[in-house]
């Protein structure tokens, strides 16, 4: 499987950009072949029933009658008219879907969608997401973040920790009373050891979403924040005393309470759970300072050149956040929740090829519960009194054409926009998409070599289907005609990982 094309034509050279942020939003529409495109950021994918109905109305009245769920759990409206921006804003704003016009493109927050619902994970990171969103919108400088900068909040189960966040928070659970609070004091005290048992994965072991990508739009970044980058010191303790949930000073008495790991690039810090959202914002602001000093137009943390790392120590200290550096470890990895009943009071379904009709949206909201759109292009619906009620509603949603069974061959099948919506696409990949004959590895159909929205993961963990011309594809690099796609995809999806 060919790798994702590099960000720059010459990946060995430092990245330098000389253009601003062209990433679409709800107010800045992108011109596509099928009309205007609006991308609406939904932190943690969270929607009230009323907001779901508003989106359905917007899709029907202004767009093509559908919404696309992105690999960040955001929503795209397609087929919009040339001059409908103001009318769209008038629909979205009263429903609370545009809390800050100046920050609407930087509210990129992915959170474990099953947090607090199924007994797994170490904390309800959905609460962190709400606080983080409010903090982002309240701080003037954070409006300078790129529309591609990503916050990831994992509740410890590892379902989203690997999605390539620029700033990642991982719930740490309760810290042991015997931990002396120094970096490296316990070999097992890294994020990887905090993962809860993985739930059954209905869409394959890798996540169907490129880290930091939401689709086939133009990319860019707003102007960087002001200031000069600082340097990290040997300690990351804030100037103020630790919060009651936070790290103890070395040698202090008493147990640790629930906390969080803050990951930025290769560096990891422990902070109090109550400080986690503020720590994430402080890290983002440190990135802006570093990007300004680097002068290369970096959109993401990984694009900063050597010697221009964010001053996380100083940023956390200035925010009054007590933090301890810990040895970096691999983040936890767990499966996405399978389609079906989730815990005792919720359910999870997938959108076929990541698209939801207005009718399907209203069906998701019919019971009045909270809806959480997921990075796997699905939806978690909450608020049922018991498993019986959730199972009954799951059967009803199956009748609307949603994927409700983890054994469905369509679970894990994704596709980019393709023709006729994207000018760069070489094929109508949604029409050509086939699951093969059974479920298996995730598979992604791409209209061109950019592979917009493809799953994360190395060769052998997902099936790469790329259009090369009229009626022709590459399936994991093997030339395949359209008429042979079903057999080729079926074989690729069911091939054992150990042989790929």
Lowest-confidence pick of 53-57, 205-209, 411-415, 457-461: 205-209
User: What pLDDT score does 374 carry?
Assistant: 97
Helix (H, G, I), strand (E, B) or coil at 171: strand
Going by their DSSP bridges, the two strands 259-264 and 167-173 should be labelled as antiparallel
Please check the confidence at residue 12 and state whether its pLDDT lies above 70. no
User: What pLDDT score does 199 carry?
Assistant: 37
DSSP-derived letter for residue 29 is P
Contact 347, 383 (CB under 8 A): no
User: What pLDDT score does 311 carry?
Assistant: 98
Phi, psi of 355 (to 5 degrees): -115, 140
Lowest-confidence pick of 109-113, 344-348, 432-436: 432-436
Average pLDDT over residues 452-463: 83
User: What pLDDT score does 257 carry?
Assistant: 65
Average pLDDT over residues 328-333: 88
Average pLDDT over residues 328-339: 90
User: What pLDDT score does 207 carry?
Assistant: 37
* 256 confidence band (pLDDT: 50, 70, 90): low
Please check the confidence at residue 9 and state whether its pLDDT lies above 60. no
Cα dist. 20→219, 295, 468 in Å?
9, 13, 31
CA angle 164, 356, 344 (to 5 degrees): 75
User: What pLDDT score does 23 carry?
Assistant: 85
Query: What pLDDT, in 10s, does the model give residues 154-176?
Result: 999 999 999 999 999 999 964 32
Q: What pTM was computed for the model?
A: 0.82
Cα–Cα dist 433/409, whole Å: 12
Cα–Cα dist 75/40, whole Å: 5
User: What pLDDT score does 20 carry?
Assistant: 67
Cα–Cα dist 12/93, whole Å: 44
Contact 443, 493 (CB under 8 A): yes
Please check the confidence at residue 452 and state whether its pLDDT lies above 80. yes
Encoding tokens for residue 165?
């966040």
Contacting residues for 499 by C-beta, under 8 A, at least 6 apart: none
Indicate the burial class of 124 (C-beta count within 10 angstroms; 0-12, 13-18, 19 or more): middle
Instruction: Count other C-beta atoms under 10 Å from residue 9's C-beta.
Output: 7
Average pLDDT over residues 25-40: 92
* 405 confidence band (pLDDT: 50, 70, 90): very high
Please check the confidence at residue 241 and state whether its pLDDT lies above 60. no
Cα dist. 450→2, 5, 454 in Å?
11, 7, 9
User: What pLDDT score does 111 carry?
Assistant: 98
User: What pLDDT score does 185 carry?
Assistant: 31
Please check the confidence at residue 499 and state whether its pLDDT lies above 50. no
User: What pLDDT score does 439 carry?
Assistant: 79
Average pLDDT over residues 354-370: 97
Query: What pLDDT, in 10s, does the model give residues 198-224?
Result: 333 333 333 333 333 444 333 333 333
User: What pLDDT score does 19 carry?
Assistant: 65
Going by their DSSP bridges, the two strands 66-69 and 75-80 should be labelled as antiparallel
Average pLDDT over residues 396-413: 96
DSSP-derived letter for residue 468 is E
Contacting residues for 138 by C-beta, under 8 A, at least 6 apart: none
């Amino acid at each position: 499987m060919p790798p994702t094309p590099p960000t720059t034509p010459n990946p060995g050279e430092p990245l330098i950009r000389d253009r601003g942020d062209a990433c679409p939003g709800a107010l800045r529409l992108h011109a596509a072949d099928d009309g205007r495109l609006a991308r609406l950021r939904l932190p943690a994918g969270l929607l009230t029933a009323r907001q779901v109905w508003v989106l359905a109305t917007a899709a029907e009245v202004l767009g093509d009658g559908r919404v696309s769920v992105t690999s960040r759990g955001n929503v795209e409206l397609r087929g919009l008219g040339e001059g409908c921006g103001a009318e769209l804003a008038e629909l979205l704003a009263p429903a609370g879907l545009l809390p800050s016009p100046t920050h609407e493109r930087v509210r990129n927050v992915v959170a474990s969608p099953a947090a607090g619902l199924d007994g797994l994970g170490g904390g309800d990171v959905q609460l962190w997401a709400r606080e983080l969103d409010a903090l982002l919108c309240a701080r003037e400088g954070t409006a300078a973040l790129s529309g591609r900068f990503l916050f990831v909040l994992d509740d410890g189960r590892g379902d989203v920790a690997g999605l390539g966040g620029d700033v990642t928070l991982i719930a740490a659970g309760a810290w042991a009373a015997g931990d002396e609070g120094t970096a490296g004091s316990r070999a097992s005290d890294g994020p990887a050891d905090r993962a809860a048992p993985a739930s059954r994965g209905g869409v394959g072991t890798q996540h169907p979403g490129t880290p930091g990508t939401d689709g086939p739009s133009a990319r860019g970044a707003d102007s960087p924040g002001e200031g000069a980058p600082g340097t990290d010191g040997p300690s990351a303790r804030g100037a103020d005393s630790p919060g009651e949930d936070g790290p103890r000073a070395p040698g202090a008495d008493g147990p640790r309470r629930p906390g969080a790991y803050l990951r930025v690039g290769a560096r990891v810090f422990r902070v109090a759970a109550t400080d986690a959202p503020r720590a994430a914002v402080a890290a983002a602001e440190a990135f802006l300072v570093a990007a300004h000093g680097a002068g290369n137009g970096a959109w993401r943390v990984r694009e900063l050149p050597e010697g221009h790392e964010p001053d996380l120590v100083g940023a956390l200290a200035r925010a009054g956040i007590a933090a301890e550096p810990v040895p970096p470890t691999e983040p936890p990895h767990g499966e996405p929740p399978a389609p079906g009943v989730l815990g005792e009071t919720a359910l999870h379904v997938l959108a076929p090829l990541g698209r939801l009709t207005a009718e399907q949206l209203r069906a998701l909201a019919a019971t009045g519960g909270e809806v959480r759109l997921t990075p796997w292009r699905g939806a978690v619906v909450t608020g049922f009194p018991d498993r019986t009620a959730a199972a009954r509603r799951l059967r009803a949603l199956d009748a609307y054409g949603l994927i409700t069974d983890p054994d469905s061959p369509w679970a894990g099948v994704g596709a980019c926009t393709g023709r006729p919506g994207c000018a760069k696409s070489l094929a109508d990949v949604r029409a050509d998409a086939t699951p093969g004959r059974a479920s298996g590895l995730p598979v992604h159909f791409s209209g061109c070599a950019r592979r917009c929205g493809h799953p994360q993961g190395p060769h052998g963990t997902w099936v790469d289907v790329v259009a090369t011309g009229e009626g022709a594809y590459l399936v994991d690099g093997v030339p395949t005609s359209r008429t042979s796609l079903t057999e080729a995809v079926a074989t690729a999806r069911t091939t054992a990982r150990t042989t790929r």
